[in-house]
Amino acid sequence: MRIATFVHNGKRHVGQVSVDGMQVTAFAISDDLAQRGAQPLIETMVNGQALPALSGATLNLTDVKLEAPLPLPRRNVWCVGRNYHAHAKELQASVFKDSNSDTQAWPIVFTKVPECVVGPTDDVQLPDAAVSQQIDYEAELAVVIGLGGKNISQADAMKHVFGYTVVNDVTARDVQMRHQQWDMGKSFDTFCPMGPWLVTADEIDGRQTRVRCWVNGELRQDGPTENMIFDIPTLIETISRGITLYPGDIIATGTPAGVGMGLNPPRYIVKGDVIRVEIDGIGQIENRFV
Ligand code: MG
């Protein structure tokens, strides 16, 4: 099932996308619940309760505005750095140069604040040049947690995956490298485009799909998720060590090679660039940088 959060006639709804991906029908939930996007449906399904009925008209997706499936995640988005071998290599002289040997054994984990999430077609705001001049894209598969838990084993981890969505982990490289922690360079307003919807784990296995990214139509990133250094079960096991994961938590699983900083010379995002991220079995997001 594909669960979309969308606006129609000025009101936010949460709905099920049709099998052909052309239409959406809203669930019968209150306006207050709809404000939380897919979150209440995730909680309903995790609790084993029946989903609310589909109500109202079936709308063409071209007649609605899609939002991020979780427009304001319940807490920070977990993110993984340096999780594809080729990407680790392309930034080994810059972002990863101070990484100590422990990063070989353990993933780099940081977060983005919930408020930086925007929808799959929303504009991303480039900051003033005084704030950053090195804005970059990172196409990523995001895992959405269903059943919560703590100290989850790799063997059990996939049972905790509710589904998947697409994110662009937009990054201010100069700010990222200026601070010991990455959160600032990753959390600028609008720096987490997400969507186009949430695909439940019965429809796709995130361990075996393909992440691609185009800048103004030019293919820059193309990575199979089988190439992750730390696979999804390992990430869930690691992040849940001593920390309870909750339904609706999001884990952005890292980006393949081909980011702007890794090119020679680097090619950072400029005003007017349009960046499209697509993941097989989920869909695509496309955002203009303004
Ligand atoms: Mg990233």
Listed by start position, the domains of the chain span: 2-67, 77-288
Amino acid 286: pLDDT: 98
pLDDT tens track for 168-206: 999 999 999 999 899 999 999 999 999 999 999 999 999
pLDDT tens track for 223-250: 999 999 999 999 999 999 999 999 999 9
Question: Ligand 1 being an ion, which residues bring their Cβ within 5 A of it?
Answer: 138, 169, 255
> For a pLDDT cut of 90, what percent of the chain falls above it?
91
C-alpha to C-alpha distances, 110 to 167, 169, 217, nearest whole angstrom? 15, 11, 30
Amino acid 99: pLDDT: 65
Q: Which CATH class is domain 77-288?
A: alpha beta
Secondary structure element (H or E) that encloses residue 21, with its range: none
Report CA(80)–ligand 1 centroid distance (Å): 6
Report CA(141)–ligand 1 centroid distance (Å): 10
Question: Given a cut of 80, is residue 56 above it in pLDDT?
Answer: no
Report CA(267)–ligand 1 centroid distance (Å): 17
Task: Report yes or no on whether pTM surpasses 0.75.
Answer: yes
Amino acid 86: pLDDT: 87
pLDDT tens track for 149-171: 999 999 999 999 999 999 999 99
Report CA(100)–ligand 1 centroid distance (Å): 19
Amino acid 92: pLDDT: 85
pLDDT tens track for 112-135: 999 999 999 999 999 999 999 999
Q: Do the beta carbons of residue 289 and residue 135 sit within 8 Å?
A: yes
Of 188, 135, 143, the residue nearest 166 (C-alpha): 143
pLDDT tens track for 99-114: 655 557 899 999 999 9
Report CA(99)–ligand 1 centroid distance (Å): 15
In a 3-state reduction of DSSP, which class is residue 211?
strand
Q: Do the beta carbons of residue 84 and residue 107 sit within 8 Å?
A: no
Report CA(1)–ligand 1 centroid distance (Å): 26
Beta strand spans in the chain (E): 2-8, 11-17, 23-27, 54-60, 65-67, 77-81, 108-112, 117-118, 135-136, 139-145, 161-168, 171-172, 192-200, 210-215, 218-224, 250-252, 274-279, 283-288
Q: What is the mean pLDDT of residues 48-56?
A: 91
Of 81, 73, 99, 275, the residue nearest 183 (C-alpha): 81
